[in-house]
Structure 1
Amino acid sequence: MDGIWQTIWDSFWIRALRDPFRYPVDFNERIFIGYLATSLILAVGVYIYLRRHKPDATPRGLFAFLFPKQVYLHKSAIADYKFFLVDRIVFVLMAPIALVYVEPLIGMTDALLTRVLGPVSSPWDPGSPWVMGLAMVSQILLVDFLLFYMHYLCHKLPLLWEFHKVHHSAEVMTPLTAYRMHPLEVVFNMNVTAIFTGLLLGLFGYLTNGGRPGFEILGINAIQFAFYVVGFNLRHSHVPLGYGSIVSQLLVSPWMHQVHHSRETRHLDMNMGFIFSFWDRMFGTLYVPGKDEADYALGLTTGEHVHFHGVLAMYFRPFANLARRWFKPAKAA
């Protein structure tokens, strides 16, 4: 028996060590090479536009524009690379004990509704286009609102902000900056979205007599897939891809998210949406950058970002900050 457990443990560690290298070839991951490729194509389009309209402010060479050394060799970017490799291993190790899984919740919700309300007399056809469309849209709207609101809370609640600082401590951004998030924040986001997604899909399972309706591409919600394809990886980059003032009232452009990372006063706590920007408009946090608004510094307004460019600092500085906040000696009268 000890030998069996040792084999399981060893194979678990092997999977954990391999996991960081899975991301570019897994279409379920944000940095899948296909999504990176479409973002690169869009970045070339932005370069052509800028060379035509702002030649003096744009590098002559395409490669210099796409992969500037001052971004990809910055100490903040190097910290992202190191953190990604370490944190993906940590995530695999902690996932079995820290995460709520959607599939069991779907079955439990479906079974509970059946027991309490009884079977649906005329279940919906899970293959009907309108049922599939309703399931797809309701799921993406639910998840997107949850991501927006949890992000909003991370900016408004001091406890959550200390952990969210890890993400905002980036002084430059690359696609790997999307993974520059403290594990506790990741667990918080994933568990909340998993719980509500499980409840929603369980409801659709009940209404369709066990069906799993929805339009999917490669197993991903079709709207989310489209979002990944049309430039998700430019959100964490230096490439200012905007959608224009009208479309930006509906969708969060990469440029809008880049502005969210600004430490300029006018940008603070703005553009917290993931896909849709109308949540920001509802909460008064929408900010559409102007066409000449390109020069702003990234990081934390306090200058604390310089203390986060190490893997251990990203893990433990939030706890140290909270300890100082909670156990700070009272000032003498």
Structure 2
Amino acid sequence: MAIDTPLALFMNGSSRIFWGYLIVSTVIAIGWYVFKVGAISAPTLKAYWFNADSKLDYRYFIFNWVFKALFIAPVLLSANTVALWTLNWLNSVSEPLFLSWYYRDIMVAYTLSLFVLGDVSRYWLHRWLHTNRWLWKFHQVHHSAESLNPLTFYRLHPVEIMLYALRNALVAGVVTGIFVFCFGARLNLYSVLGGNAFVVILFSFTGNLRHSHIRLSYGRWLERLLISPAQHQVHHQQKSMHKNLGSVFALWDWMFGTLTLSQHVSSEDKFGLGQGKREKYGGIIKIIITPFFDIYNIIKRN
């Protein structure tokens, strides 16, 4: 698991906070705000970018990078390892298939498989984080923010980071192993700016608006297929935080009963966990240790 430096994340096209995506999101945000609200004032910008939540997100973003580089990356499975395990197991039960598909078709199938299976696996892991009472204590770290900005995306407890990294290694590794077994080592990914082409096209340019106060909706029909920034903001609102668990596709929420359209939830509902909960996670040390104390208290009560 390679860990980019914080600066490299802004330069990497496969990163959510790539500078190009940030510029596009900024242009969209300015246009939306001017149209919906009016002129943008300096005090408004200062209150948004330098409130307590934003400043904590900036500090935790750096802490997270250091923690991942020192303690998480060295011990996690890599997708290459999982791919080798998958390929060895398949070779033990059958001869490689070496199907004679066109190379272009293999690339499209491989890229699409990684994208779709990656997205549905993120949905189910996210749903598990919400429904398992132990894991919910860790995921509450992310939901504790009452003001959202693009770096809120990185406000994740290290336990959750490890779970998502393991999910990625398993999905990417198994898919890669199966494709090598079926087609040989003629694999490549259709990419844009270094990222999966489908992710970049369908998600990245408005991805930063999901953790913002720009309530951009895709409309009632498209929000049944794709998660809009407004729908993810609904997910962060106190009264509907167990809805809209999808990452790119809203289809999984629609199929499994967790979909809510943004028009059905008032924009006046507050973000966060409720009264007094933000202070509970109001610093880096609190973010790290509070979930463990919560779990200990659950065990003690039982």
CA deviation map 1:114-173 (0-9, x unaligned): 342113254434x22x32222222211101011111111111110000000000000101
Moved more, 21-30 or 274-283: 21-30
Q: Distance in 1 between matches of 2:135 and 2:176?
A: 28
Alpha-carbon distance, 1:292 to partner: 8.4
**In the alignment, structure 1 residue 229 sits paired with structure 2 residue 204:** yes
Of the candidates 68, 86, 96, which is equivalent to residue 109 of structure 1? 86
Q: Match of 1:61, SS?
A: coil
Q: How does 1:10-21 map to 2 (within 5 A)?
A: 19-21=5-7
Segments of structure 1 that go 5 or more residues without pairing to the other structure are: 1-14, 51-57
Q: How many residues align?
A: 301
In 2, the alpha carbon distance for the partners of 1:62 and 1:227 equals 31
Offset of residue 72 of structure 1: 1.5
Answering whether residue 40 of structure 2 is matched by residue 61 of structure 1, we say yes
Rg larger in 1 or in 2?
1
Which of 137, 142, 147 is 1:162 aligned to? 137
2:299 is the alignment partner of 1:326: yes
In the other structure, the counterpart of 1:9 is none
- One-letter code aligned to 2:5: D
Q: What is the aligned partner in structure 2 of residue 270 from structure 1?
A: 243
Counterpart selection for 1:215 from 190, 198, 202 = 190
Distance 1:145 1:292 in 2: 24
**Equivalent residue number for residue 28 of structure 1:** 14
1:80 aligns with 2:80: no
Structure 2 residue aligned with 1:4 = none
The CA deviation string for residues 67-86 of structure 1, in whole angstroms up to 9 with x for no partner, is 63332221111111111111
Q: Are the equivalent residues in 1 in contact too, given 2:153–2:211 (CA < 8 A)?
A: yes
Match of residue 205 from structure 1: 180
**Structure 1's 138 and 121: CA in aligned 2 closer, same or farther, altered over 3 A?**
closer
Summarize the Cα distance change of 1:222–1:62 in structure 2 as closer, same or farther, 3 Å threshold. Answer: farther
Which deviates the most, 159-168 or 190-199? 190-199
Q: Give the direction of change, closer, same or farther, for the CA distance of 1:292–1:123 in structure 2 (3 Å limit).
A: closer
Q: 2:260 aligns with which of 260, 284, 287?
A: 287
User: Is the partner of 1:214 in helix, strand or coil?
Assistant: coil
Tell me the distance in 1 between the aligned counterparts of 2:178 and 2:265: 47
- Give the residue type in structure 2 aligned to 1:80: D
User: Where in structure 2 are there 5+ consecutive unaligned residues?
Assistant: none
Aligned partner of residue 160 in structure 2, secondary structure: helix
2:157 corresponds to which of 182, 189, 195: 182
- Residue 298 of structure 1 corresponds to 271
Pairing of 1:114-129 with structure 2 (within 5 A): 114-120=91-97, 122-125=99-102, 127-128=103-104
Q: Is the 8 A contact 1:216 1:222 kept in 2?
A: yes
Are 1:249 and 2:224 counterparts? yes
| Partner-residue secondary structure (3-state), 1:327 | helix
C-alpha change, 1:257 and 1:121, in structure 2 (3 Å) is closer
Displacement of 1:302: 5.7
Q: Which residue pairs with 1:193 in the alignment? A: 168
Report the Cα distance in structure 2 between the residues aligned to 1:202 and 1:20, rounded to whole angstroms. Answer: 31
Q: Identity of aligned pairs, percent?
A: 29
